[in-house]
Amino acid sequence: MNLFRFLGDLSHLLAIILLLLKIWKSRSCAGISGKSQVLFAVVFTARYLDLFTNYISLYNTCMKVVYIACSFTTVWMIYSKFKATYDGNHDTFRVEFLVAPTAILAFLVNHDFTPLEILWTFSIYLESVAILPQLFMVSKTGEAETITSHYLFALGVYRTLYLFNWIWRYHFEGFFDLIAIVAGLVQTVLYCDFFYLYITKVLKGKKLSLPA
The full DSSP string for 15-42 is: HHHHHHHHHHHHT--TT--HHHHHHHHH
Is 46 a domain residue? yes
Q: Say what the pLDDT of residue 178 is.
A: 92
Into how many domains does the chain fold?
Answer: 1
Percent of the chain with pLDDT over 70: 94
Is 211 a domain residue? no
The pLDDT mean for the chain works out to 90
Q: Please, which pLDDT band fits residue 145 given cuts at 50, 70 and 90?
A: confident
Q: Say what the pLDDT of residue 205 is.
A: 66
Is 212 a domain residue? no
Lowest model confidence (mean pLDDT) among 98-112, 144-158, 173-187, 193-207:
193-207
Q: Is the pTM of this model over 0.85?
A: yes
Which residue type, as a one-letter code, is found at position 146? T
Q: Please, which pLDDT band fits residue 211 given cuts at 50, 70 and 90?
A: low
**Model confidence over 110-125: pLDDT tens digits?**
999 999 999 999 999 9
Secondary structure (3-state) at 208: strand
**Model confidence over 21-65: pLDDT tens digits?**
999 999 999 989 999 999 999 999 999 999 988 899 999 999 999
Residues pairing with 143 in the sheet: 209
Q: Please, which pLDDT band fits residue 207 given cuts at 50, 70 and 90?
A: low
- Domain of residue 41: give its range: 3-206
